[in-house]
Amino acid sequence: MSAMPREIARLVDRMRAARARHAPLQIVGGGTKAFYGEAPRGEPLCLRDLAGITSYEPSELVVTVRAGTPLAELENALAAKGQCLPFEPPRFASGGTVGGMVAAGIAGPSRAAVGALRDYVLGLTLLDGRGELLRFGGQVMKNVAGYDISRLIAGSWGVLGIICEVSLKVLAAPADTATLEFEWGEQRALQELARWRAQPLPLRASAWCDGGLRIRLAGSRAAVLEARTRLGGTAVDRQAAFAFWQSVRDHRHEFFALAADELEQGTALWRLSVPPTAEPCSLSGRQFIEWGGAQRWWRTGAPAAELRAAGVGAGGHATLVRAADKSAGAFAPVGGELMRIHRALKDAFDPERILNPGRLYADL
């Protein structure tokens, strides 16, 4: 076995010591998503020293990165070679890390067109709650050797193990983009989005708010040009469009900004993840729709039970993203047999409940 990097060896020691003392650890990257999910608890275990791009082969479309690497550093390295992370992970603040990105598993505006973050995870090295370094997946596009544990880890909020290093599939940045705007109400916007979905269009993202629908086209110059002609609408200036999509991706758009006093007065930011064809929900508050109708954000003071019922009623679920009071649970509860499997998986990887306890659900 080759020598273990010093930072990893230190991490293994730290993990084993915490386990011996039964002392919970909260895994910390850039701390930019501490607000998301249930509150972190336990001694902070900072991964920022475990940084750097281990290997990057543009012609393989694969990059291998240590968990503490700033996301911005990775995105810059990819951009220098004309490539990108197609799933557009949000940057809620500056300083977010690649490990945090994978652990949260959140994708941005292009999700419906390009797939989820986990679709781009090829493999990872995990230090699990039993203090063992494990490698799952690899650096190749197709790999069905053993269960796909690396993709289970994506979006697991650190409750199964500490991501040390991850290999990601990357893609070429689109050759051309264009943004079109339509003055449509919610019903009409959802109908048109459904119609377009079944057509071979280079539709990369959509955002509807306050009676206006914006869509982003991305692809070859020929495809974008043809779609612009076919779809009509009003073209949005390139720079303004870029800034708009960045603000949606990173939640800097004014819709997502909740001032302290608004939070105090009970307004919360909810995320409804529903089938794209779900009927419009009649909730009080203001709505922002993405992903062709599959992601519907609500700024509302309505009771949690009402939001949760709306999510389930539409065939999806509701997440309480920003709120002064998260006693209703940040994430929608998971049913009986599935929860039993969740607990059994926690027992398999972190039997003493050392890693990020309660970050996802109280008993994980």
Sequence-distant (≥ 6) Cβ neighbours of residue 134 within 8 angstroms: 125, 126, 127, 128, 149, 161
Question: Which pairing describes strands 43-46 and 25-28: parallel, antiparallel, or unpaired?
Answer: parallel
Residues 144-163 that bind another protein (CB under 8 A): 144-149, 151-152, 154-156, 160
Q: Dump the DSSP string for 287-320.
A: EEEEGGGTEEEEEE-S-HHHHHHHHHHTTSEEEE
Helix/strand/coil for 108? coil
Cα distance between residue 294 and residue 316, in whole Å = 9
Residues 47-76 that bind another protein (CB under 8 A): 57-62
Residues 99-128 that bind another protein (CB under 8 A): 105, 111-112, 115-116, 118-119, 125, 128
Minimum CB–partner distance for residue 151 and another protein (Å): 4
Residue 121, Cβ density class (10 Å: 0-12 exposed, 13-18 middle, ≥19 buried)? buried
- Specify the residue, 115 or 212, whose C-beta has the smaller distance to another protein: 115
Minimum CB–partner distance for residue 189 and another protein (Å): 14
Q: Which of 34, 56, 258, 273 binds another protein (CB under 8 A)?
A: 273
Residue 331 makes contact with another protein by CB under 8 A? yes
Residues 15-44 that bind another protein (CB under 8 A): none
Residue 200 makes contact with another protein by CB under 8 A? yes
Minimum CB–partner distance for residue 94 and another protein (Å): 26
Cα distance between residue 283 and residue 296, in whole Å = 12
Residue 80 makes contact with another protein by CB under 8 A? no
Residue 313 makes contact with another protein by CB under 8 A? no
Residue 77 makes contact with another protein by CB under 8 A? no
- Stretch in the footprint of another protein (CB under 8 A) among 19-27, 249-257, 279-287, 337-345: 337-345
Partners of residue 228 on adjacent β-strands:
none
